[in-house]
Every structure is written in C-alpha cells, then in structure tokens.
Structure 1
Amino acid sequence: MKPQILLAYSTVALGQQVYIPFDRPSSRSQCSVNNTYATALPSYSFRQFSFTQTETVRTATPRPSPSTTRTYAPPYASLSHFVPSLSTTRWGNWQSAANATVTDIGNPYGNASWSALWGAVPWVNFTRGIYSTTVTPTPIPSSELVLPPPEAFGPQECYSFPADFMLGVAASAVQIEGAIADESRTPAHLDTLSLFSPGAEPNYVTNEHYYLYKQDIERIAAMGVKYYRFSIPWTRILPFALPGTPVNQQGLAHYDDLINFVLEKGMLPAVVLHHSDSPFQFYSNISDVPILPGTGIGYTDSGFQRSYRNVSYEDAFVNYGKVVMTHYADRVPIWWTFNEPLLGSRNGKSIDAVIKAHARLYHFYHGEINGTGKVSITFNDNFGVPRNPNNPADVDAANHFNSFQLATFANPIFLGQDYPESYTSTIADYVPLSEEDLQYINGTADFFSIQPYTATVVSPPPNDTIAACASNTSHPLRPYCVTQSTTTTTGWNIGYRSQSYVYLTPTYFRTYLNYLWNTFRSPVAVTEFGFPIFGEAEKLQQDQEFDSPRSWYYQSYLNEGLRAIWEDGVQFIGAFAWSWVDNWEFGDYDAHFGIQTVNRTTQKRRYKKSFFDFVDFIESRRQRS
C-alpha cells in the first residue's frame, strides 16, 4: 500500500460527514445557552403602521482599466527562436459548395488540402450564425448592473477571502465560439459530436463568441471579475495540426486581440491549451471519437494515444503549446495544459502521453522561456464519499474511486510518486514510469486544479470485490469498480438535484478541499463549478434570470471554502464559475450552467441573479491589502 494512499484514507475518515442519531430538532449552535429569547415571553403592543421595507440600490463595480500592464515572459520577438521556421498563412471560410472550385491541388497546405479536411467529415445541415466579423463592443448600461435582492437566508460566518483570492469565470472554445469553419479553423474531434450522437445539437454556431468576444468581455469586466479563463483551439492555430505546417495568421491575430482586450478591461487572461478539441486529423472517421462502455477509460476519445503521419499526439501537442506560449506568454499569467484529460483517455498510453506532454510544456515555460506565471493541469472528480463512513469497505471504495481519477495524474506530477494501485491494477496496458520519468515529472504544476461540481456516494461492487472487478476486463463497473449512487444510508439524496449529474453538496466540498490539500500538498484552485437548474430552459426569461438555486449553490460552496481556509488550514486560492454564459453542453443547449442567459435567435445576453451573488459573495468578503 502506497504511503499517500494511506494518508488519503485518514483524511477522508477524519473529514467525512457522519450521521449521528438525534431524536429531536436541530440545535442552534450559533445561539448562546444564555440567550434571553430562549425562555422569555414575547411582549405584544400596537403602534402606527408604515411600510418599513427599504430597498438599497447597489450596482456592480466594473473593473477599472489598468494604468500599467505587468508582463510574465519576454515578448514573442525574443522567444521566436524556440519555434523556428514558422510560416503563417490564411485559408478563409469553408463552404461545402466551393470545394469544386479549389484548384491548388498540388500544394500540401493550400486551399484544396485545407478544404479536404472539412470534406472528410459527413456534415449534416451545416449552418452559420448571424455574424461574420468582430462586433464592436458597447458599454454596459448601469440599469443592467443593479444588484438583485439578497437571499433571505445565507451564510452568517465572518470569514474573509485573502486579498489575492482568484475570482474568475470560465468557458471553452468548442462550447461558446461557434464559427467552427471560419477564418481558417479546421475540425476538432468534438465538433463531430452531433453526428455520432442521435438527438444531439451541433456546435456550429453556439454563442458566436468568436465574433462577440469584445462585447462578452465587456460584460464580464462590468461585473468586477478579475480572471477570464478560456481555451484556444489547436485547430484554429495550426489547421494542419503538425510541427512544420503553416500557422493560421487569422487565429494568432484573433487571440492576440482577445488577450489585449481582456487586459484593457482590467482583467487577466487565463488560458487552457486543450479543452475537448483535438484535431480531427488524428482520427480515421467519426466512429473513432466515442469510447463505448467497457472499451476504455473515458467517454470520448481525445486521441492522446494516437499518431498522425508518424508524429505522436504528444509531440504534436507540445509543438502547438510552444507556438501558443511563445506568442502570448508575456501577457498571460496562468496556463493549463489539459482540462479533465481522464475523460478523454482511452487507455494507458493516453495517460502516459498527457502526463509527459504536460511536463514538457511546464519545463518549456519555466525552464526555457523563463515565464514567471503559473502552469497547472485540471482534473475531474465528483468527490467520492463513502456511503457509510463508519464502514471500512465503503471508505476503501471511496478512496479507490478518488485515487483512480486523481492520483493517476497527481502522484507523478505533485508527489513524484508512481501511479496508484487503483490505476495499475485496473488498466493492464498502463505505461510504467521510470525513476528518470518521475524525477522529470515531479513538481510540474504550480497549484492543484479541480472541478468539483458535486459529490458521489460510493460503496463496493455488489456481490463482488474491487480487486475482482479490476482484473475482469468485461466487468460492468469498470473502470472505477465501485457502486456509484446519490443516496446515503439515511435514504435521502445527498443534496438538492440539478438538471444533470450535479447535486448541491457544499459540506462535501469542504471535505474535498481537505482531502486534496492534505493528500497532494499543493494550493487548490477550483477551475470550474456550477449548477444547471432543473427545467430552466422551459422558464420565462425573467424567471431564468432570477435563479436562486444557483445562487445557493455558489454561496454555500464558497462559504464552505472559507471554512476550509480558516478552520482547517487549507490553502484554497481561487474559484472560476462555470460558466459565464449558457453554452453548448456537448450536444445540449437545455442544460443551463450559465450565469448569463442567451437568446438563441438574437444572441443577446442577460445577467442572472447568480452572477451578481457569486461576485458579491467574494468581493464583500475580500481582505483589502
């Protein structure tokens, strides 16, 4: 048994919520036992009636434009030698009917070759949005920035966030940009999702953020948000994916302008290099994209284990990362290499490629271009909690569940230790790490990034053992080899249910922060968390905007984060809301995770109550340096 796994066992056992039998109503621990109101009789009297409700009109505080701009690395002119012989070009927009007019067939990177990449996918009812060029932003009227009424009940603790606590919002390009065939971009693997998932909606248009980014950034900055976390699609920078192929001039210019506009509005850009958008060239056809149950680790194949024209995914991705970092590292303070890579991993080679590509880019950023910002990698894990924390078998199952999803990556990256037994006992084709590998990979993340939307109740497999499941490649509970549920020993669900897999589980969030901090010994940032209210898409506009359950979600989670900081000694350093707008939830527009609404006909955005409450909760509690 590995030492860090033993540590994880003790952390969960100590931190987990335990149900204690109690045959009376809850006590009010915040009230003193000598409270006068506990025994005194009320006094009744008449007085002149008046309407005493008062309404204080407050508005959001926009971020001020900066007077100076901090840099985190030398500019591209000083770093271009790290990516020698780059050539840039542009290919324009793809039109299926125009393929026949392309004549430069002899050019391996010409318009004919570029169009052929689009023609290789059997697009159905391909459409474009209402915009074809960048929209000039307009100021946000103060009438839109008036804070909504506060919730009647809420956290009463008096804790504060540290002055440098990161307040951010997040989204990914494949889910918000649209314009997928415009300005020289080529297909990404999840662009094809609707083609192999009957009933799924495509992302051809989504939120048209590619053309509306300035107005969107204006809206985010007007709310006082500090960090804008977004992804840059590999296929918009390198349409032909591989080292030595031309770089898209339009793509470079677009993100250059986006980053500069974020800075102009007083915010900071935070960039994800891979967020479910691998170049489709790594696939032979769309049937390669899904991972059918029982055939792999994740849900959709991100191609990490693949190669294209004898170039490995790892080498190609590192080249892409270097191109992006050298161009923008002077202005970007935070980088993530991969977002939730476990969910895109098919096998052990996938995991190996991710970890080694991540480590190479970390060393490139800090060791070669001497970047002074931060680099991380974001993991998924809906925190596994034992169904009965007093049952050792349930605790073992919860630790196996969490270890497989987290320690598989985090052991080498944060602790310099080998893969956990939960992974090596289950994935027969895992690629062993040598001592040299572990030395190189160790310490290649500047903070721990997690996306803890909810919690999962975990127990062992019924009528079986975890070990028996791990050794049986056809077992229906693979790869996690545990029973996952939403019901505790009391028979109650673990929390208020959203439209999707998310349940409101703030108490477990505090436990989770303890688990991460004490297991992997690194500051923890939540890079996505959010809540889709059940049936929100069916509600009237004004009812979508008054989204109290989402406000409860953010306020209660953040309050438990404060308790983890002050009562448990956990270094919780930032929170990024998912998402700053309703978006394409991988084939679905009805699961609304956004803190702004979107009119799908006009693309008009409107703030929701939760956006105000999310920002206000942090800023009203921030220590002033």
Structure 2
Amino acid sequence: MVWYQPLVFSALLGVSWCTEDWTFPPGFKFGAASSSYQVEGAWNVSDKGESIWDRFTHTRPEKILNGDNGDVACDSYHLWQEDIDNIADLGLHYYRFSISWPRLLPTGFANKISEDGARYYNNLIDGLLEKGIEPMVSLYHWDLPQTLQDLGGWTNPLIADWFADYARVAYSLFGDRVKMWLTINEPMIVCDSAYNTAIIAPGILNSDHGAFLCNKHVLLAHAKAYRVYEEEFRAQYQGEISIANQLIWYEAWTEDDEDIAELAVQYIAGRYSHAIYSEEGGWPPAIEKIIDENSKKKGYATSLLPAFTQEEIELIKGTYDYYAMNYYTSRVVRAAREGEQLIAFPIGDIPDLNAVVGVRPEWPASDASPESSATFFYIYPEGIRRQLVWLKNNYGNLKFAITENGAPDVGGLNDQGRIDYYQKHLKQLLLAIKEDGINLTHFTAWTLMDNFEWTDGYRSKFGLYEVDFNDPLRTRTPRNSARFYANIIKNNALDVE
C-alpha cells in the first residue's frame, strides 16, 4: 500500500500563475452531498417500506464491516434542522440529497404516498430554501423498495414504468421548489457492482445477464422519468434533469495499450452515456461488437447486451439538461496475458475486454484504513480533467456538473489529506474550465458528514463534518476541511499561494 503524503501546493502547480487565475467563473456553485440510506436512519419509522439495503444488512450482516447497518445512521430524519444549519455555516449554494423511494412510496408503487415521508422531504426542502440554499434532489441512490426487488428489481423491464410513476409523484410534490434533479445515481454501481460481484444489495451474482439487463433498464427508467418531466412539468417549473454517472478514468498502461484504454473508457462511460448524449444513440458500437462476440463464444444465440429498438433509442436519446459526473479515482489498463487470472469488474479488471487494471506506483492511496474497501481510492487528480475532456470530445460542449468528489480517511478533525485531495481536484477543474473550455457549473463535495459507507460500515470517513456514531445525539463537528471548503466558497477561488 502506498500511503498519501501531503505535498507542498506550489510544487504541484508547475506554472506560475497569479492568484486571480484560480478564481472560479461568476455564478459557479458549490455544494455537498448525501444519500437517504446513508444518513436518514429511521428505517422503520411510520409507514416507510423496506429497501433492499434494509433487507441486505439485516439478513446478511456478514457482508458489512462489523455487521453495521443504516438503521440509525446519522439520524438525519430527526436531525434535519441541524444538517441545514451546518450546510448554511459552510455557505453552500446547494445541498444534494436523495429521496428514499420506499419512504415516499411504502409499497414501491404510486398507489400510496406516505404523508410522513412527504412531510419530511418538504421540511428539508423548505428549510434549505429559507436559508437561501438550493435543493438538488436525486430520485434514486441505491435503496430500491424490496417489494420491487421481489419482482426482479432492475432486471425486470417494467421497472422503467415503475420508476417513471415514482418520479411523477416526486415532481408533483416537490417540483415547485426543486429545480435540479438527478434520476439515478451511479448506475455502474447499481448494475455492475451488484450483479458482477454481489458485494452490495441486492447481493445477486449473475455476471452474464444481470449487469447488462440492469444497464438497459436504468437507461430506460431515466429516460421515462425525464420525459415525464419534459411533458408534464417543465413548462411550469423550468427545472433541469440528468443522470449521475460515476466514471473511472482509464489510461494506457504503456504506449502500446492506447486502444484498450479507449475501450475501457467506452465500457464505463460509454455504456451509461452513449445512449443519452450521442447523436446516434444506442450502445457504443465498439462495446456492442465485443459483447456480441463474447456472447457467441459463451454459446448464446443472441448478445448478452440487450438490443435497443429504434423506438427505445429515440426515447433515451437527448434526455439530459446537463452531464452529472461523480469522480473519485483512475486506473491504468492493458490487455491480459494468456492464462492471466482476472478479478471481477468494477473492483478490479474488466473480463469483457480481457483487460487487466492497475495503478501507477506514483499514485498515492487515500488515507483510508488498509483493510477498508475504500483503499481503491488511488489519487490521480488529472483524471477528473481528462475524463471531462473525453466527454466533451465525444458528446459535444455539454454543461457539466461534478455531483460527487471526495476522499476517505480514518477520522479525526485534522484531515489534511482530504484538504489536499480537494485542492488538487479543484485545481484540475479550473484548468479544464480555463484551458479546455469545459462548461462546468457545479462542484459537489462527498460528503457533508460521515455516514454509513455501504460494505465498509462506519469505518471510512468522507465527511466535512465528523459524526460521533457512539453518541445517541450523533454530534456533528466541523473538520479542518469544512473550514477549507467554506473559505473557497466565500472567495469563489482557490488559495494556492
């Protein structure tokens, strides 16, 4: 393990720029993010339905560090006013949070809307707006109603309609005040992690069919939710909608690996972007060809990557108002050697491409515990800029928003590693804006406060605010990174001197 040692900022710059060159464009917005299952707690309060993460953590606690779960988490369901006060103290322009689908619709379907669930989100939205803070709302951040999972979840094509019905309810209840929407957070994790590794909910291992079925259906669900807004709500509310993709930037291991590096980017970014953002729509042609060939080798009569009908291509194409990107880390990639064993994607290699994935020795690891699942956060700030440039080159001069970026550590208020991580990534984003012409409008820190970090339980800390999970009051305390971030927001600039 290569541990991260903070570097002197001036040594990182490489060029001598004046301080004003590190100023963000006028109107640039800074925020922080959370997600419902990770912070709300109150898992069985009122008429809330069960989510797949409720079921997963309760029935398979061995899958989570220390058998932890999100039953209480940060208790934001009860402490939302304290969260808002902390958000205001940071000076955030917006707060990204997610709605719990089973909290709002206890059956998973639109036949019943929870009054208590709706009241909670109304209180949160109204409280933010009273402080001059914009709500940015994600409809889905991994906590699918268990009732829908029992019917096949994201592998059932009907889920696209179920999701559209849920979106319509959310728009109806909150659309008058919410102007920035995200449909589905990180479909790569929802699909590839879930079905290729089974390490996250719903914990079903089906590496041939699961991820690709899910891939198609999340794109259709996003598109239908977008069309609902476009046809029924946009004229009145004038909001904006996107899907939030977590992208890992892949570079060639050596100069001979450029082609497979491009395929790796297409495999990640393209499979969850091409259908929405490209002019022709559908799957990335190179990936579609590879999966078709792989499927034949496995003895299947048709491709495991389910084809889009022309009607579906037209439905999905153009369903965006901006490109929302979550970025944490990068990798290098090369073709596997004969007989080389591959580790299942996305934690490791990419078997569909017969590609081995690694990191460069000079890339430091985050300050997470060596035993943590978060040790895959190798730090390569240049990757965030290069990924944005790739997206612009492939899909045009879109409006971009960074909807998650951050680094874990083991806790404590003096989180210099996290400060350095944000400093370096924000510098790269300014270079992307000023030198590459990237139209970037938002930056979102992950996360507002320590929370339940999925399979890593409460060990990995990402928060600008430390949370004492041993305290029934879940006391929140600002870290040094909170003060650092608040200063950037106040000055609309990086201090790199």
Residue from 347, 350, 363 that aligns with 2:227: 363
Q: Secondary structure of 2:273's match?
A: helix
User: What amino acid does structure 2 have at the position aligned with 1:429?
Assistant: L
Distance 1:239 1:28, change over 3 A: closer
Q: Which position in structure 2 is the counterpart of 1:305?
A: 155
Q: TM-score, normalised by structure 1?
A: 0.65
User: What amino acid does structure 2 have at the position aligned with 1:360?
Assistant: K
Contact 1:386 1:395 (C-alpha < 8 Å) held by counterparts: yes
Contact 2:187 2:272 (C-alpha < 8 Å) held by counterparts: no
* Residues 548-574 of structure 1, C-alpha deviations (whole Å, 9 max, x = no match): 110000011001100111111111221
Residue from 184, 199, 212 that aligns with 2:79: 212
User: What amino acid does structure 1 have at the position aligned with 2:96?
Assistant: R
Residue from 572, 582, 586 that aligns with 2:454: 586
Q: Report whether the alignment pairs 1:337 with 2:183.
A: yes
Residue from 395, 402, 405 that aligns with 1:526: 402
Cα distance in 2 between the residues matched to 1:480 and 1:169: 35
Cα distance in 2 between the residues matched to 1:399 and 1:483: 14
Contact 2:160 2:224 (C-alpha < 8 Å) held by counterparts: no
Cα distance in 2 between the residues matched to 1:30 and 1:452: 25
Contact 2:350 2:357 (C-alpha < 8 Å) held by counterparts: no
Q: Which position in structure 1 is the counterpart of 2:366?
A: 497
Q: Which position in structure 1 is the counterpart of 2:160?
A: 314
* Residues 396-435 of structure 1, C-alpha deviations (whole Å, 9 max, x = no match): 2221111111111211111142201225533732221233
Q: Which position in structure 2 is the counterpart of 1:620?
A: 491
Q: Which position in structure 2 is the counterpart of 1:425?
A: 290
Q: Secondary structure of 2:337's match?
A: coil
Q: Which position in structure 2 is the counterpart of 1:400?
A: 263
Q: Which position in structure 2 is the counterpart of 1:246?
A: 112
Q: Which position in structure 1 is the counterpart of 2:215?
A: 351
Residue from 332, 339, 344 that aligns with 1:457: 332
Q: Between 337-346 and 590-599, report the one with greater CA deviation.
A: 337-346
Q: Which position in structure 1 is the counterpart of 2:351?
A: 478
Q: Report whether the alignment pairs 1:413 with 2:280.
A: no
Summarize the alignment of residues 78-117 of structure 1 with structure 2, pairs less than 5 Å apart. none
Summarize the alignment of residues 227-266 of structure 1 with structure 2, pairs less than 5 Å apart. 227-243=94-110, 245-266=111-132
Contact 1:176 1:209 (C-alpha < 8 Å) held by counterparts: yes
Cα distance in 2 between the residues matched to 1:306 and 1:155: 55
Contact 1:525 1:574 (C-alpha < 8 Å) held by counterparts: yes
User: What amino acid does structure 1 have at the position aligned with 2:407?
Assistant: F
Cα distance in 2 between the residues matched to 1:27 and 1:452: 20
- Structure 1, unmatched stretches of 5+, are 1-25, 32-153, 289-302, 470-474, 538-543
User: What amino acid does structure 1 have at the position aligned with 2:487?
Assistant: D
Contact 2:465 2:482 (C-alpha < 8 Å) held by counterparts: yes
Q: Report whether the alignment pairs 1:221 with 2:221.
A: no
Distance 1:553 1:622, change over 3 A: closer
**Number of matched residues?**
433
Summarize the alignment of residues 93-242 of structure 1 with structure 2, pairs less than 5 Å apart. 158-194=21-57, 195-198=59-62, 199-242=66-109
Cα drift, residue 197 of structure 1: 4.7
User: What amino acid does structure 2 have at the position aligned with 1:269?
Assistant: P
Q: Which position in structure 1 is the counterpart of 2:143?
A: 277
Q: Which position in structure 2 is the counterpart of 1:140?
A: none
Cα distance in 1 between the residues matched to 2:141 and 2:123: 21
- By percentage of residues, which structure has more helix? 2
Q: Secondary structure of 2:441's match?
A: strand
Distance 1:380 1:621, change over 3 A: same
Contact 2:29 2:442 (C-alpha < 8 Å) held by counterparts: yes
Cα distance in 2 between the residues matched to 1:218 and 1:423: 48
Q: TM-score, normalised by structure 2?
A: 0.82
Q: Between 322-331 and 312-321, report the one with greater CA deviation.
A: 312-321
Cα distance in 2 between the residues matched to 1:448 and 1:530: 19
* Residues 500-538 of structure 1, C-alpha deviations (whole Å, 9 max, x = no match): 2112211222222211222222122111111112xx24x
Contact 1:461 1:477 (C-alpha < 8 Å) held by counterparts: no
Cα drift, residue 156 of structure 1: 5.6
Q: Secondary structure of 1:577's match?
A: strand
Contact 2:138 2:184 (C-alpha < 8 Å) held by counterparts: yes
Cα drift, residue 450 of structure 1: 1.1
Contact 1:155 1:556 (C-alpha < 8 Å) held by counterparts: no
Q: Which position in structure 1 is the counterpart of 2:464?
A: 595
Contact 2:100 2:143 (C-alpha < 8 Å) held by counterparts: yes
Distance 1:566 1:28, change over 3 A: closer
- Structure 2, unmatched stretches of 5+, are 1-10, 192-209, 296-302, 343-347, 369-373
Distance 1:200 1:459, change over 3 A: farther
* Residues 188-245 of structure 1, C-alpha deviations (whole Å, 9 max, x = no match): 10123333251441111110010001111111111100111000011011111124x2
Q: Secondary structure of 1:241's match?
A: coil
Q: Secondary structure of 1:484's match?
A: strand
Cα distance in 2 between the residues matched to 1:424 and 1:343: 23
Q: Secondary structure of 1:545's match?
A: coil
Q: Between 570-579 and 173-182, report the one with greater CA deviation.
A: 570-579
Cα distance in 1 between the residues matched to 2:265 and 2:13: 34
User: What amino acid does structure 2 have at the position aligned with 1:570?
Assistant: I
Contact 1:555 1:617 (C-alpha < 8 Å) held by counterparts: no
User: What amino acid does structure 2 have at the position aligned with 1:579?
Assistant: T
Q: Which position in structure 2 is the counterpart of 1:72?
A: none
Cα drift, residue 343 of structure 1: 1.7
Residue from 403, 406, 419 that aligns with 1:551: 419
Cα drift, residue 479 of structure 1: 4.2
Cα distance in 1 between the residues matched to 2:175 and 2:186: 23
Cα distance in 2 between the residues matched to 1:236 and 1:169: 22
User: What amino acid does structure 1 have at the position aligned with 2:188?
Assistant: L
Q: Secondary structure of 1:254's match?
A: helix
Cα distance in 1 between the residues matched to 2:14 and 2:421: 23
> Which of the pair has more CA radius of gyration?
1
- Percent identity for Structure 1 against Structure 2: 27
Cα drift, residue 498 of structure 1: 3.3
Q: Secondary structure of 2:69's match?
A: coil
